[in-house]
Amino acid sequence: MNKENKLVQDFSKYIWSIVFVVGVLIYGVSYYIFNSIITEQYKGILKAKSEIVFIQVESYVTSRIHGLRSVAKKPLLVNGLMQGDVGAIELIEFFKHIEIQGDSGEFSLYAFDGTLLSGQENKWDKSYSKIMDGESLYNVRFIKKKGVIFIRFLFGVDFHGNREGVLEYEQEFSSNAIFQTSEIVPYTITDKGINFSNVEIQREGMIEKNREIFGDKKLSIFLDVSKLVRRKRQFNLIFAVLFILIFLFVAIYTRKKGIEWFLIPHLELEKMSVQVSEMNMLRKSMMDSTKFLFVSTDSNGQIISTNKRSFEITGYSEDELCGLNLQDLFEEKNLEDRASELGKIHELYFDAGFEVLAFNARKGDVEDREWTLLKKDLSDLPITLSMSAIFNEENDLKGFFAIIDDITVIKKAESISKKAIDDIRKAAELKTAFLANMSHEIRTPINGVLGMTDLLKQSSLDKEQSELVELLESSGETLLYLINEILDFSKIEANKIQIENRDFSLKRILDETVLTFNVKAKEKNSNLIVVNNIHNDTYLNSDEFRIKQILNNLLSNAIKFTEGGVVTLEIKVEDNYLNISVKDTGIGMNKDQLKNIFRPFQQADASITRKYGGTGLGLSITKSLVELMNGTIQVKSEVGKGTSFDITIKALSFIKESDLKEVLKNEELLLDRKISILVAEDNKINQKVVSKILGKLALDFEVVENGKAAVEYFKEYRPEYILMDMQMPVMDGLTATKEIRLYEKSKELSPCQIIALTANAFEDDKKSCFEAGMNEYLSKPVKRIDIVRVIKKIEEA
């Protein structure tokens, strides 16, 4: 019994030794295995958590990039850029109702030069310039304002392929809107020297995961590993208890707990996997719901994946599309043209394949270019293609990501716009041609009236007759001015009006103007008072016709609206400035009427037009002329008390009458030799006017009625000068001039001096004359001094 007990005891000792040894082995092996498993499980959890955060941030920004790209292409933004302040009002209302992925933010729109057109102005830096210069398609930036973090997006706004402005969108960067989890994820974002975190980060017990996002921005995720450390300590403690306590008791006691500790990491990892899967599904849903085609390819262009829109647009199924190379979706001619273009730029040979699509993307550039997509049914589709390369962490090229946008609507709009522009251009050309023809038809008889008046002034007249002739001449010129009013407005609209400076007597045009408007003032039972502060022998070097036109406009307007009152004209010269003041005691205007006084075709109201008449162009033309002459115009008015206009014009110089008379005398004395002149003019009255002028100058001349006769006369008699009208029957003046120049060239003759003598008043007509081979240009009505001066100019050249 004792032996058996001893055996039992020895066996027990043996058994417990075995248990102890087994327990130690189990402890060591279990510790190593479970510690490794727990460590690997938590590493997987940490990696999955960081991937979720990175995906959430990238999805958050990418979704807003897609939304803002669509906003940047809205025609209303282009209109805002083109229309300035008017378009900005519409933009304010437009931006109020725009939400990006359900969020509201601050929109701003900048013109190409950095001018803010709408929204809140921010400092213009290199990121804006890169967008404007086309170096970047868009820009994402994190900024801090008063302790609050904002994310700012910049997009280029294009019109007809040209970058016209920059769209800016700012939104508060809210972690609650980004991280779809109740657990707070500590993070830090670094962007352009700005470093900020969502919570105060205690780095002890944390590990940091970093990733570059959207170029130069760094996102750091801090994950808590203190739980892992605590688990390990608990694990060591449990296994220490296992070593001390009875193995079975410890095994039974710790069985359930051990299973829990083992399964929790698996459950958390599965939860993270589900979240990653959901995020991928959300991203796919967003890609499928957009109007863009998204295509991912490998490094050789083989299509790997696409979105739903790609199937709808191309007509291919998913399997068919993923079996193609991206180049198969483009017209061969498109690819050949791009290959040729790249070859010329880089002086290399390019195969007309996928390489021409991905060339810029391989260099890291993002190119937004127009192409023609070839659908499954072989129909064409205009698109824009934006490609970017995808690199891994080792900077190895893994593939490409292409964004394709259907621009069919844009192309149709461009076609409609082009047609509208062409229609407007044609209408403008027709208007110009009509006005040119009217100018010629109306000026021709006026030329006869004024020409005969000029000849009458040189005949023997008594004082009363001279005054009547001067009044006739002044009235004729005023009539010509009224006709020119419409023509001047058209030239001002087309920016074709020019200021022609010459010396003239201020006293003469003032006397002529007063003589004309004294009569008109008396007809209205009004008095015209002239305050003349200039010396009688003062001459001004400026545009005589435009100065007189300004005086006529102001006085005509003042007398028209003054019944039984007083109109005062004051004129003076100070420090090379001509000051003109016209005041009346007429009906006056209110503040609203004053705002529109210089607008074309504008009068106070319809009753004014019916009662007083007029085109409504006079003051608009006056303001434009004053500004062209580097002057200013101001107006003051009060209802029932009258109106005053004050004009200041800078004159080039002032000379004395005695000096100018000497100049004019020398010009007429210049014609001291016999000069042969041919006059080509179809109008009988104008023939007589020019003949009288040339006769008084004692010049040899002949008159023909059309261009063909002028060419025949020139070939036979070779006159030194030809005064050539532009519009004549049989052959016009331009054609006749070209034939004369060809004849001179064929016979190697010295060129005849051809002077255009025409009623056409447009700058384009003058240009046509010179292009045909004419030497100088005279616009009707023509006076003797004009002919003398142009011949003098040619003779001295």
Taking alpha carbons only, the member of 647, 605, 640, 644 closest to residue 626 is 647
> Interhelix angle for 85-96 vs 75-83, to 10°?
150
The residue type found at 195 is: N
For 704-724, the pLDDT digits (tens) are 999 999 999 999 999 999 999
Q: What is the pLDDT of residues 355-370, one digit of tens each?
A: 888 888 887 777 678 8
Which string of DSSP letters, residue by residue, matches 457-480? Answer: HTS---HHHHHHHHHHHHHHHHHH
Most confident range, picked from 37-51, 273-287, 505-519? 505-519
The burial of 281, by beta-carbon neighbours within 10 Å (0-12 exposed, 13-18 middle, 19 or more buried), is given as exposed
* Mean pLDDT value across residues 299-323: 84
Question: Which of 19-28, 308-317, 674-683 shows the lowest mean pLDDT across its residues?
Answer: 19-28
List, in sequence order, every beta strand (DSSP E) within 131-255.
Answer: 138-145, 148-159, 162-172, 187-191, 194-197, 206-213, 217-224
Which residues have CB under 8 Å from 636's CB, separation 6+? 643, 644
The whole-chain average pLDDT of the chain stands at: 77
Helices assigned H by DSSP within 73-165: 75-83, 85-96, 126-132
- Show the domains of the chain with their CATH numbers: 34-226 (3.30.450.20), 293-406 (3.30.450.20), 502-651 (3.30.565.10), 659-796 (3.40.50.2300)
Query: Tell me: the pLDDT tens digits for 225-235?
Result: 666 666 667 76
β-sheet bridge partners, residue 389: 400
Amino acid identity at 151: I
Residue 194 neighbours by CB under 8 Å, 6+ apart: 142, 143, 144
Q: Are 298 and 323 in contact (CB under 8 A)?
A: no
Q: Predicted confidence band at 8 (pLDDT cuts at 50, 70, 90)?
A: very low
The residue type found at 409 is V
Contacts for 310 with CB less than 8 Å, ≥ 6 apart = 293, 294, 295, 316, 321, 404
Cα 684 vs. chain centroid, distance in angstroms? 53
DSSP-derived secondary structure letter, 644: E
Strand segments (E) across 204-247: 206-213, 217-224
Closest CA to 171 of 92, 104, 125: 104
Tokens representing 471 are: 């009044």
What tens digit of pLDDT does each residue of 476-485 get? Answer: 776 776 676 6
Q: Name, in order, each residue with C-beta under 8 angstroms of 254's C-beta and a sequence gap of 6 or more.
A: 238, 241, 242
Q: pLDDT band at 178, cuts 50/70/90?
A: low
Q: What is the pLDDT of residue 673?
A: 66
Q: Within 576-725, where are the H helices?
A: 591-595, 606-612, 618-628, 657-669, 684-696, 707-717
CB 565 within 8 A of CB 598: no
List the single range of 107-116, 169-178, 301-310 with lowest mean pLDDT. 169-178
pLDDT per position as a tens digit, 131-170 = 888 777 778 877 777 777 788 888 888 877 788 888 888 8
The string of pLDDT tens digits covering residues 594-606 is 888 887 655 555 4
